[in-house]
Chains A and B, each alone.
Chain A
Amino acid sequence: MKQREIHKFPLLSVSDVTVRFGGITALDKVSFEISKGSICGLIGPNGAGKTTLFNCMSRIYDPDRGDIFFEGQSILSLPTYKMSSLGMGRTFQNLALFPTMSVLNNVMTGGHHYTKSDYLSNALGLSWARKENRQAREAAMNLIDYLDLSPMMHSRVSTLPFGTQKRVELARALASRPKILLLDEPAGGLNHDEIEELKELILKIREKLNLTILLVEHHMNLVMQVSEQVAVLNFGKKIADGTPTQIQRHPEVIEAYLGTG
């Protein structure tokens, strides 16, 4: 991999975030930073708190303590729907598409925050609203084309295979023109060849769209191959944070994954 210039400036920083569900501490004072332009892997055994952390970053959960900063500003006072216009795009572990909509409409919905047409202009079919709709459609079709979804563009997403739906979700996230992309287990349910393609794709979209990517993934090879930085969670605590090579040698990580035997 060619050496990238990674900015010093952290795009996203998580500071002392604690989340409790009843008596369970899902995240315990987790802190880390993601530099602009980097790909950061977030790994850990099942139930380590990875998705919880994701949900805090995209404002679906409120942390009990700590703070999260995006481009230097705390996001915790913002409502969920502002995350998208702030530049945070995401996919979901178990897919959260709009099942009755076509692929095209799902992807077009990704562009909601930067389009402006209101109920009245849309109902009356005013020309500026129609024009905006056409532009949104073109932008969506470009992404659909880029992710090889064109043949099923008009299909209802619920009729598509799981792997294809995952690509639709990625296209929808990209349609919101994010600065940072949070991918929650993008390789889940994919076969070996598909994972290879996904690896290429992640690297390709980062270059092309100038993205920062946070990747939650169980597939260790994928994470180690694409990430510049890897953070490891175990039982809600961050146990390691560093380059892939450092992480692979880290005694606590080895212990968490292989057990103390």
Chain B
Amino acid sequence: MPEVENHAVHPDSKSGVPESSSKTIGLTDVEWRRLAFVLSLSFAVILPFVFEGFTTFQFTLAGIYAIAILGLNLLSGFNGQISLGHSTFYGIGAYTSAIMINQLEVPAYWTIPAAALICLSFGFIFGLTVTRLEGLYLALATFALAIATPQILKSKHVEQWTGGVQGLDVYKPDVPQALPLEADQWWYFVVLGILLLMLWCTKNLVNSRSGRAMIAIRDNPIAARSMGINTSLYKALTFGCSGLYAGTAGALSAIVIEYVAPDSFTFVLSFFFLTGMVIGGMASIPGVIFGALFVLFLPNFAEDFSKNLAYAIFGILLIATVYAMPSGSAGLFSAILTRLKQKLNQ
């Protein structure tokens, strides 16, 4: 497993100096982090007004991926449970939303929390059944979910709901009239808002009693149990939470893309999430954004390079990236920051 960057520990913790005491050009680490956050957020807000519609749409998808990867990171990065089955949660979320919109005529916005809750329950129940599986065995069990999903969606028994191989069309609601925004821009902001909310919740969660229990289980399950943590329950709860994130992302993707089809939810999607998580940084919260941008834009970039060898080029770029930043973007950024600080403080 790659080096885990843990948010509960301060980056300069090796020196044992509490972060508030060290300043770089007049700002403490916390202030620097706030500044970085404000700058990134301003950039994110300006973005859909600078780029054309399709690029905005792609950034919207990246935001959706970031939500799914965040969920996966909660499960694998913080809790140590490997999942190759997140395409299933994403798919269940997407289909829940699509079926509710297409066949039950539920307003699209309401289908997002509905998909989240359904995936929460499914994740919790699945998490309880696999609570004794660890490492590669858990990876296999979740992989089984991922390979079964597209066929189940196509099967005759559920065809009347899922639309079988054809999939389902979804109509996304119009932009609220009071707002002078294009549809692409509006949905970009909806996704950005939900992503920010989920980033905030995740940050709260991992720095709380629940988050400590999650990390404790990852670090040492026997000691965790001896400290009074009901490891089976916490693992299942974390699985449920992770499912909630992936389900939310799936529902958003159904609405934004206006279409769901079984073959959008193959195990390949799970591997993309996994790649995004590792590239972003295990157990890094801001890293998921980098990871999502990476898995969304790099294949496109590779395709621009050569249509026939797109995946070969993607593969090479992936290896190069992993080589350049063995602990993900989070590890690289914190290493650069530490260097910069040393330089500046001299």
Partner-B contacts on A (CB < 8 A): 58, 60, 79-85, 90, 92, 96-102, 105, 108-110, 112-113, 115, 117-119, 122-125, 129, 132-133, 136, 151-156, 159, 172, 176
Contact = CB atoms under 8 A, between A and B. Distances in A.
B213 interface: yes
Contacts of A110: 227
Given A109-B213, A119-B210, 6 more contacts: A79-B225, A100-B6, A101-B9, A102-B8, A117-B209, A132-B209
A98 to B, nearest CB: 4
Q: How large is the interface on B (under 10, 10 to 19, 20 to 34, 35 or more residues)?
A: 35 or more
20 contacts: A80-B222, A81-B226, A81-B228, A81-B231, A83-B226, A98-B216, A102-B10, A112-B209, A112-B216, A117-B210, A119-B241, A122-B204, A123-B241, A125-B200, A129-B209, A132-B209, A154-B16, A154-B17, A155-B16, A156-B9
B334 to A, nearest CB: 13
Given A100-B4, A112-B228, A123 B201 contact: yes
B33 to A, nearest CB: 16
Contacts of B16: 151-155
Nearest to B6: A100
Contacts of A123: 201-202, 204-205, 208, 210, 241
Contact of A154 (B13, B205, B229): B13
Nearest to B10: A154
Contact of B227 (A60, A136, A176): A176
Given A81-B229, A119-B241, A97 B209 contact: no
Contacts of B4: 100
A85 to B, nearest CB: 6
Interface string B214-232: 0110111011111111110
Q: Which of B200, B215, B220 has the most CB of A within 10 A?
A: B220
Interface in B155-195: none
Interface in B1-31: 4, 6, 8-10, 13-14, 16-19
Contacts of B218: 100
B118 interface: no
A168 B237 CA distance: 28
B219 A136 contact: no
A80 B9 contact: no
A171 to B, nearest CB: 12
B128 to A, nearest CB: 15
A176 B227 CA distance: 7
Nearest to A90: B226
A136 B4 CA distance: 25
B204 A156 contact: no
Contact of B212 (A109, A151, A155): A109
Contacts of A118: 210
Contact of A101 (B17, B210, B215, B230): B215
A154 B10 CA distance: 7
Contact of B205 (A113, A119, A172): A119
B114 to A, nearest CB: 17
Q: Which of A100, A117, A129, A156 has the most CB of B within 10 A?
A: A100
B211 interface: yes
Contacts of A136: 209
A156 B215 CA distance: 13
A101 B6 contact: yes
B227 A112 contact: yes
Contacts of B212: 101, 105, 108-109, 112
A102 to B, nearest CB: 5
Interface in B47-106: none
Q: Which of B205, B212, B219 has the most CB of A within 10 A?
A: B212
B288 to A, nearest CB: 16
B9 A172 contact: no
Nearest to B3: A100
Contacts of A133: 208-209
Contact of A60 (B19, B222, B237): B222
A154 B202 CA distance: 21
> What 4 A-B pairs come out closest when comparing CB atoms?
A113-B228, A84-B228, A122-B208, A96-B223
A255 B213 CA distance: 46
Contacts of B215: 98, 100-101, 105
Contacts of B8: 101-102, 105
A84 B227 contact: yes
Contacts of B200: 125
A119 B75 CA distance: 14
Contact of B223 (A97, A108, A119, A122): A97
Contacts of B10: 102, 154
Contact of A100 (B9, B19, B211): B9
Contacts of B228: 81-85, 112-113, 176
Contacts of A84: 226-228
